[in-house]
C-alpha cells in the first residue's frame, strides 16, 4: 500500500480572510441545524431511546445544540452483542483494508473541517484556533495509526535458534469500550476509536454527555468512510447509567478510557474483578487528570516564560489535562514573572467563541462552573488572589475569568485538579526546591522548565516526574507522532497516544515457533 510520508495536519491561518469567511459561513450553516436529534447507531441501525441527552451551548445555555439518544443497559447489551458478532469478520479483515477506513475518514474530516469546527464552537465552547488544533489532531491520529498498523501488520523481528523459526506478531483482542471526555471531543474520541478498530477490534463508542453531538458527527464520518456495520457502535448515554454495565460485562475485552482520575480508577477496579463466563483478564488503558507544573528558574527568558505560562494555563479556559495549573517561580525572578503573567492574562479577550478574536470561552457545563467556583472560593482562603473577577450569571454562559492565586505548595488549589482557568503560583527557594515542589503531587502528566541553565535542564529531563516534559515552551498542544502523550503516576497508564507503543496496547502479541 503506497502512502506518502506522515506529516501533521497544518493549522489554519486565521490571518487569511478566506479561512475567516469559510468559518463564518460554516457557523451560519451549522446554526440552522441546532436542536436536531441523533439516535444511537448499533450494527448500522438507528436506534431511538426513551431517554435523551440535551446538549447545550456552554456560552449560551439556553441554546440547544442537539438532542442525542441516551442508551440504557438494554441498548448497551445490544451493542455488546453486535460488536461481538462483528468481531468475527473484522478481526479477519486484512490490515490494509482496515487502514483504508482510517485514511478515508481523514480525507472526509479535511473536507468537513469548517463544519466540524463550527460544531465545536457551539457545543464545546472552543475558540476557533483551539477548535482547529484539536481537529487537526483527530486527522493526525487517523493518518498516524493507519501507518502504524501497516508497520506492525507482519509482526516484529525476533531471533530464532538454529533449526527453528520463531515469529512474533499481533492479533486483534475483541470488543473494546471506548469512553471519551468532552475537552478534546473529536481528537481523543477519534484517536482512541481509530487505534482500536485499525488493530482489528470492534468497539462501543461512548462520547461524553456534554459533547454527544460531536460524537454523533464523528460517527457519521466513520460510517461515510466505510467502516462496516457493527465495527463502530455509537452508544451515547450517561456514564453513571451505562458505564459500569459496559465495563463489567464479560463480553468486554478491553476498555480505553480518557477522563478524570476518579472515573478511571473506578473503571480499573471494576474491570479487575472476574464475573461469570469471563474468559480473559480485561485490559484497561486509562489516561486521566493532571496538576501540571511549569518551573521558571533564574536564568530563564522571563517574557517568553510568562507568555507560555499564560498560554498553557488559560488556553481553552484551562480545561486541558496538560494545562499548567501550577507555576513554580524561583524567588529571584518571582515578582517579575508574576507581574508579567498577570499583565498578559489581563489582555486575554474572554467571550462567546463565535467571534474570531476571542481567546477564552466558557467552561463546559454548569457542574464544571460550580466546581471551578468552589475552588476559587477555597483559593481565596488559602492564598492571595492576584487576578480574577467574580463571574457573571451562569445562565448567560459558563464564563469564569482567568484567575491566579499566590499560595503555598500545600494549598488544595495547588494540589488538586480544578480543570478551569485557575493558576496557582508558588515561590521556590532554588531550582532543587522547585523540582521537589513540582514532583510532590500524585499526578504526573505534563511539566515544563524554562531555563538557560544546561545542568537544570538535564536534571529535569530525568527527575521531573511527568510523562511529557517540555523545555522553554508551552506545555500543552501535544502533536501526534511528534510528542506521544500519556501520564505517569495517577495521571494514567502512560499509554502514549500518538506514539509507536500505542497500537500494540490494542492487540495480543503471539509467539509461534516451528521446528524444522
Ligand atoms: P469524566 O467525568 O471522568 O468523564 C469521562 C467519561 O467517562 C465521560 O464519557 C463520562 O460519561 C464517562 N463516565 C462517567 N462515569 C462513568 C462510569 N462510572 N463508568 C464509565 N464511564 C463513565 O471526565 P471529563 O469531565 O469528561 O473529562 C475531564 C477529565 O479528563 C479531566 O480530569 C482531564 O484531566 C481528563 N483528561 C485526560 C486526558 C489525558 O490524556 N490524560 C485528556 C483529556 C482529558 P458522562 O459524560 O456521561 O459523565
Task: Over range 25-30, report the average pLDDT.
Answer: 98
Average per-residue pLDDT in the chain? 97
- The closest alpha carbon to 123, from 210, 53, 37, 62, belongs to 210
Ligand 1 atom closest to the CA of 417, numbered from 1: 32
- The whole-number pLDDT of residue 102 equals 98
C-alpha pair distances (Å), 445 with each of 352, 395, 442, 493? 30, 33, 10, 10
- Tell whether ligand 1 has an atom less than 6 A from the beta carbon of residue 368: no
- The whole-number pLDDT of residue 27 equals 98
- The closest alpha carbon to 38, from 231, 210, 245, 219, belongs to 219
C-alpha pair distances (Å), 33 with each of 119, 122, 432? 10, 11, 55
- Residue pair 217/119 in contact by the 8 Å Cβ criterion: yes
Task: Over range 274-298, report the average pLDDT.
Answer: 97
Gap from CA of 317 to ligand 1 centroid (Å): 17
- Tell whether ligand 1 has an atom less than 6 A from the beta carbon of residue 189: no
- The whole-number pLDDT of residue 2 equals 80
**Nearest residue (CA) to ligand 1, atom 35:** 259
Q: How far apart (Å, rounded) are the C-alpha atoms in residues 434 and 301?
A: 17
Q: How far apart (Å, rounded) are the C-alpha atoms in residues 304 and 450?
A: 9
- The whole-number pLDDT of residue 270 equals 98
DSSP structure string for 118-131:
HHHHHHH---HHHH
Q: What is the model's pTM? A: 0.98
Gap from CA of 259 to ligand 1 centroid (Å): 3
Task: Over range 150-168, report the average pLDDT.
Answer: 98
pLDDT surpassing 90 at residue 283 = yes
**Nearest residue (CA) to ligand 1, atom 8:** 208
- The whole-number pLDDT of residue 392 equals 87
pLDDT surpassing 90 at residue 1 = no
415-473 pLDDT per residue, tens: 999 999 999 999 999 999 999 999 999 999 999 999 999 999 999 999 999 999 999 99
H or E element, residue 346: helix 334-346
- Tell whether ligand 1 has an atom less than 6 A from the beta carbon of residue 244: yes
DSSP structure string for 201-234:
-EEEEE--GGGHHHHHHHHHHHHHTTPPTTTEEE
Label residues 207-227 b or e (16+ Cβ within 10 Å = b): bbbbbbbbbbbbbebbbebeb
Task: Quote the cell numbers at residue 403.
Answer: 484567575
57-76 pLDDT per residue, tens: 999 999 999 999 999 999 99
Gap from CA of 261 to ligand 1 centroid (Å): 8
Pocket test residue of 51, 181, 247, 256 for ligand 1, highest count of atoms within 8 A of CB? 181
Ligand 1 atom closest to the CA of 179, numbered from 1: 9
- Tell whether ligand 1 has an atom less than 6 A from the beta carbon of residue 214: no
- The closest alpha carbon to 316, from 364, 267, 279, belongs to 364
Q: How far apart (Å, rounded) are the C-alpha atoms in residues 313 and 307?
A: 10
- Residue pair 267/450 in contact by the 8 Å Cβ criterion: no
**Residue 368 — very low, low, confident or very high, per pLDDT cuts 50/70/90?**
very high
467-500 pLDDT per residue, tens: 999 999 999 999 999 999 999 999 999 999 999 9
**Nearest residue (CA) to ligand 1, atom 10:** 239
Q: Which residues are catalytic?
A: 287, 321
Task: Quote the cell numbers at residue 138.
Answer: 483527530
**Nearest residue (CA) to ligand 1, atom 30:** 259
241 DSSP 8-state letter: I
- The closest alpha carbon to 176, from 99, 253, 108, 290, belongs to 253
**Nearest residue (CA) to ligand 1, atom 23:** 259
- Tell whether ligand 1 has an atom less than 6 A from the beta carbon of residue 181: yes
Task: Over range 372-399, report the average pLDDT.
Answer: 96
- The whole-number pLDDT of residue 309 equals 98
Ligand 1 atom closest to the CA of 492, numbered from 1: 41
Query: What length is written for the chain?
Result: 516
- The whole-number pLDDT of residue 131 equals 98
Helix-strand-coil percent breakdown of the chain, rounded to 5? 40, 20, 35
Q: How far apart (Å, rounded) are the C-alpha atoms in residues 475 and 471?
A: 8
Gap from CA of 301 to ligand 1 centroid (Å): 36
Angle at 46 between CA 44 and CA 50, to 5 degrees: 145
Amino acid at each position: 500500500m503506497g502512502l506518502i510520508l506522515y506529516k501533521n495536519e497544518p493549522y489554519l491561518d486565521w490571518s487569511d480572510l478566506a479561512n475567516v469567511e469559510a468559518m463564518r459561513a460554516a457557523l451560519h450553516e451549522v446554526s440552522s441545524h441546532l436542536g436536531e436529534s441523533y439516535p444511537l447507531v448499533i450494527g448500522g441501525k438507528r436506534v431511538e431511546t426513551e431517554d435523551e441527552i440535551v446538549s447545550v451551548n456552554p456560552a449560551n445555555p439556553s441554546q440547544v445544540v442537539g438532542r442525542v439518544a441516551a442508551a440504557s443497559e438494554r441498548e448497551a447489551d445490544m451493542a455488546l452483542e453486535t460488536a461481538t458478532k462483528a468481531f468475527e469478520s473484522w478481526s479477519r479483515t486484512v490490515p490494509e483494508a482496515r487502514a483504508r477506513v482510517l485514511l478515508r475518514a481523514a480525507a472526509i474530516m479535511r473536507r468537513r473541517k469548517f463544519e466540524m469546527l463550527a460544531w465545536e464552537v457551539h457545543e464545546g465552547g472552543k475558540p476557533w484556533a483551539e477548535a482547529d488544533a484539536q481537529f487537526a489532531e483527530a486527522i493526525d491520529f487517523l493518518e498516524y495509526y493507519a501507518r502504524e498498523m501497516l508497520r506492525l501488520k507482519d509482526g516484529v523481528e525476533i531471533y530464532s535458534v538454529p533449526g527453528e523459526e520463531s515469529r512474533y506478531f499481533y492479533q486483534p483482542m475483541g470488543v473494546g469500550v471506548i469512553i471519551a471526555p468532552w475537552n478534546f471531543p473529536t481528537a481523543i474520541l477519534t484517536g482512541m476509536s481509530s487505534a482500536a478498530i485499525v488493530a482489528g477490534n470492534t468497539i462501543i463508542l461512548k462520547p461524553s454527555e456534554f459533547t454527544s453531538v460531536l460524537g454523533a458527527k464523528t460517527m457519521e464520518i466513520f460510517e461515510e468512510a466505510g467502516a462496516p456495520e457493527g465495527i463502530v457502535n455509537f452508544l451515547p448515554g450517561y456514564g453513571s447509567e451505562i458505564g459500569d454495565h459496559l465495563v463489567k460485562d464479560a463480553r468486554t475485552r478491553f476498555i480505553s478510557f480518557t477522563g478524570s482520575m476518579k472515573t478511571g480508577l473506578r473503571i480499573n477496579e471494576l474491570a479487575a474483578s472476574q464475573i461469570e463466563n469471563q474468559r480473559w483478564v480485561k485490559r484497561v488503558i486509562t489516561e486521566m487528570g493532571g496538576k501540571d507544573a511549569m518551573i521558571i528558574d533564574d536564568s530563564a527568558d522571563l517574557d517568553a516564560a510568562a507568555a507560555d505560562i499564560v498560554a498553557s494555563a488559560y488556553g481553552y479556559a484551562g480545561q486541558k489535562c496538560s494545562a499548567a495549573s501550577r507555576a513554580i517561580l524561583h524567588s529571584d525572578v518571582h515578582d517579575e514573572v508574576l507581574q508579567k503573567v498577570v499583565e498578559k492574562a489581563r489582555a486575554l479577550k474572554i467571550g462567546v467563541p463565535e467571534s474570531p478574536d476571542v481567546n477564552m470561552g466558557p467552561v463546559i457545563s454548569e457542574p464544571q462552573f460550580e466546581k471551578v467556583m468552589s475552588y476559587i472560593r477555597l483559593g481565596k482562603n488559602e492564598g492571595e488572589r492576584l487576578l480574577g473577577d467574580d463571574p457573571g450569571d451562569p445562565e448567560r454562559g459558563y464564563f469564569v475569568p482567568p484567575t491566579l492565586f499566590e499560595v503555598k505548595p500545600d494549598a488544595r488549589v495547588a494540589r488538586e485538579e480544578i480543570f478551569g482557568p485557575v493558576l496557582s503560583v508558588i515561590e521556590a527557594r532554588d531550582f532543587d526546591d522547585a523540582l521537589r515542589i513540582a514532583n510532590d503531587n500524585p499526578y504526573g502528566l505534563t511539566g515544563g522548565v524554562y531555563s538557560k541553565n544546561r545542568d537544570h535542564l538535564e536534571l529535569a529531563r530525568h527527575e521531573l516526574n511527568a510523562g511529557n516534559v517540555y523545555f522553554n515552551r508551552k506545555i500543552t498542544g501535544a502533536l501526534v507522532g511528534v510528542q506521544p502523550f500519556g501520564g505517569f503516576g495517577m495521571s494514567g497508564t502512560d499509554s502514549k497516544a500518538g506514539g509507536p507503543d500505542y497500537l500494540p496496547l490494542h492487540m495480543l502479541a503471539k509467539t509461534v515457533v516451528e521446528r524444522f
